Structures are given as C-alpha cells and as structure tokens.
Chains A and B, each alone.
Chain A
Amino acid sequence: MLLAIGGIALVYERWIGHALIAIISLVLMVYALTTGAILKGRIKKRSPRNVFKLHKRVGIYFGALILGSFIYGLWIRLQHGESILSSVHGKLGLIILLIAFLQLIPSLVLKNRARYRGLHKMMGYVLAPILFIDASWGLHNGVIGGTKSLVLFHSISGGLAALALVWIILEMLHPTDKGLARARIASYLAAFLITAGCWIAGGYNYLTVYGSQVKPVILAGPHPWAHAIVMEAKEHIFVFLPLIALTLSITLSVLNRDTFLHDPKFRRALTMIACLALFMVLLMFLMGAIISNAGQTGTEALK
C-alpha cells in the first residue's frame, strides 16, 4: 500500500497530501478494526500487550488524521476557488468525520461504556466501507478530474475488493471458530467485486470508451508509453486476478473448520494467495492512476 502511495505521490502533486493522509487513515482503520475484534474475542489475542490501550491510541490517531484530511480537502477546494462540500466525495468526507468523532468522543468521555459498545462496534464496521468508497472516489476525482461513472464503479469495486482481501488475511492470521464463515463471505465479496465491478465494468469501459476516446489522446500526448506499456500490460495482467479471487473463494468454500483451525500450513497457503490478490489489486490501482494521468496530460497537451 505504501509502495502504491509513493508511486502516486511521484506522479501527482496537487492533492497528494490529502490522499496520503487519507490512505494512512485507511491503514489505521484496519488496525483499529483488528484491535476492536481482538477486544471482542473475535480474533485470538497473541501478544501480551494491552490491546485496549492500543485500540484507544489508534482511534485517537485515526480521528486526528481524518480531521486533518478533511481540513486539507477543504483547503484544496478553497485554493481552487471551488464551492466546499458540494461534491459526493466532500459529503462522504463529512459523514466519515462525524462517525469518527461519534466513535472517539463518547469513548473518551463516558465512564460507563458498556451500553455504548454495541453502537461503537456497528459504527466502526460501517465506517470501513464508507472510507474505502470515499478514498476510491477521491482517487478517481484526483486523477481524472471528472466523474465518469463506469470508471468510478470500477475503482470503487477495486477499493472494496482490497478491503475484503485484507479481511481474509486477518481471518487467516487470527483463526477463531467463526473465522472461516467470515473469511468465506469476504472471499465471495472479493470474487464478486473483482469479477463484476472490475472485470466486466472495466472491460466494457475499455472496449467502448477507452479505445476510441482515451487511447488516441494518450498516444498523441507526451506519455505514449502509458498506453503502449502500462495499459497493454494492465488489460492482460488483470485477467489473472479474477482467476485468483475465484480460486481463493473455491478453496475457502471446501475447507473444513478443523483444518482451518488446526492446520497452519493451510492458512499460510491461503494467506499467500490473498496477499497475491491484494498485491495485484494495488498494482492495478497504480497502473490505472498512471493511465488516467497520461490521458489528462494528453488532453491538456492537445488543447
């Protein structure tokens, strides 16, 4: 993920601070979800560290970064003389900020948190997909500067698939009785998102829009290699990804609970496959960002 952020940072500068903070927030959110699940006993505790303190600290960092990212986003909009909170990305950002504060403030202020825990847990799980959708949306807007709905759906599907793959990896690293059932759900989600959202929607866009509108602009622009190498590689390498996601789903669906709980070799193998799929999703993100940027610079050069 850090590799992908670094790569994007080298290509784009305007909104990169906002994007970097948001992506660090994503990492912290995954960590907060993991420590929260350990506290509830869904994930087995391995280290003797005080998990509650860790969860609290990560939550504070997460809230601070979300606030920072929100202010940064507003600042960028004002700098360009654009109206604030008019976009879906901005509105989702505000919702994320509100949920983050509703998560954080009562947890720090209330002395008896027992009655608040159910809501805290629910909001935590709701926050994750919203944050991934908003980050994918923001990445799309930042790179393309527009809102082509099909490409947006393609990007969001990739972001959510990455979240589902991280979920599978966590379930494999911390096996519990119900972990296999949850990992299966995550794998079905990942396979569906990668097949329907990324493969079919992305393929349709590639066949109907990219070839006739974007490809000629990139080839005529200052970075023709973005099509000749990056896009040509992306369109074909991608075909491997649905196969890997489907394999992961099939393997998890036939895996029995005893093997899942007591055979570390099996879990390690599945973790490796999930990591491979996650690496490919992030690679596709990076390649997509380079292609979209080449399209944008090509359009500007032709003006």
Chain B
Amino acid sequence: MKESATSIASAVITIFLTGCIIIAHDVSTDFKQSLVALTGHHWISVSVIAIVLFVLFSGLLMSSKSARKTLRADDIGLWSTTLIAVTLTMILGILAVLIAHYLVD
C-alpha cells in the first residue's frame, strides 16, 4: 500500500510549499508582481503552481523507491497526521499574516 501514503505525502509537501508561496506573496509586493506576470493574475499562478507541485511530487515519489523509503511514505498514520498539522498551520499562518497586514495598514 505504499502508493496510498505517497499521495498524502505529495499533498503535504505541496500544501507546505504553496502555503509558503501565499505567505511570501502577501509579505512581498515584488514577489506578488512576479506571480501576476506569470499568468496575468496572482490567484491563477498560485493555483497552477499548486497543481504542478502536486503532480511533480506525486510522480517523483511514485518513481523513486529510495525517496519513498527516506520519507517513510508507507506510514499512512504519520502522513495523515502531518497533513492535518501542516494544513492547519498554513491556514493559521496565512490568517495571521493577513490580520497583521490589515492592522498595520
């Protein structure tokens, strides 16, 4: 059942990286502009990046046995807990940055 946890691990990595990109684009105007330049709208860029990252990491983990072993991709309990922790942390992080941004402005 290695593939099951592989997909969850890919989602965890993608959500973490996408969350970091979202926070970075809220903090840095230049970075936001570069996302706008990529597709015409920052939201479309973030969405496209999320899809590309998910497909990329899924493919990478599916094709590499050593990567799966290193990441313990067969442990579904570990990765489902990590998925919840990373998602909630990213939600709170994004909210915190936006609230701080609003209060400062």
Contact = CB atoms under 8 A, between A and B. Distances in A.
B26 A232 contact: yes
A283 B94 CA distance: 14
A107 interface: no
Interface stretch (A18-26, A71-79, A245-253, A294-302): A245-253
Interface stretch (A110-118, A158-166, A265-273): A265-273
A225 interface: yes
At the interface, is chain B mostly helix, strand, loop or mixed?
Answer: helix
Given A203-B43, A232-B26, A235-B43, A254 B95 contact: no
B6 to A, nearest CB: 9
B41 A207 contact: yes
Contacts of B5: 251
At the interface, is chain A mostly helix, strand, loop or mixed?
Answer: helix
B63 to A, nearest CB: 16
Given A237-B91, A246-B54, A265 B83 contact: no
Contact of B8 (A199, A228, A232, A251): A251
Interface string A200-239: 0001001100000000000000000100110011011101
B46 A272 contact: no
A126 interface: no
A240 B87 contact: yes
B98 A232 contact: yes
B76 A269 contact: yes
A17 to B, nearest CB: 30
A250 B58 CA distance: 11
Contacts of A88: none
Contact of A207 (B8, B44, B105): B44
A150 B84 CA distance: 30
A236 B46 contact: yes
A27 interface: no
Interface residues of B, number: 38
A272 B43 contact: no
A228 B7 contact: no
Contacts of B15: 240, 243-244
B34 interface: no
A255 interface: yes
A276 interface: yes
Contacts of B10: 247
Contact of B50 (A232, A243, A269): A243
Contact of A276 (B18, B87, B95): B87
A238 to B, nearest CB: 9
Pairs A-B, 4 closest by C-beta atoms: A269-B80, A247-B11, A250-B7, A269-B76
Interface of A: 199, 203, 206-207, 225, 228-229, 232-233, 235-237, 239-240, 243-244, 246-247, 250-251, 254-256, 259, 265-266, 268-270, 272-273, 276, 280, 283
18 contacts: A207-B41, A207-B43, A228-B102, A228-B105, A232-B98, A233-B91, A233-B98, A235-B43, A239-B50, A243-B54, A247-B83, A250-B4, A251-B4, A265-B76, A268-B77, A268-B80, A272-B80, A280-B87
Interface of B: 1, 3-5, 7-8, 10-11, 14-15, 18-19, 22, 26, 41, 43-44, 46-47, 50, 54, 76-77, 79-81, 83-84, 87, 90-91, 94-95, 98-99, 101-102, 105
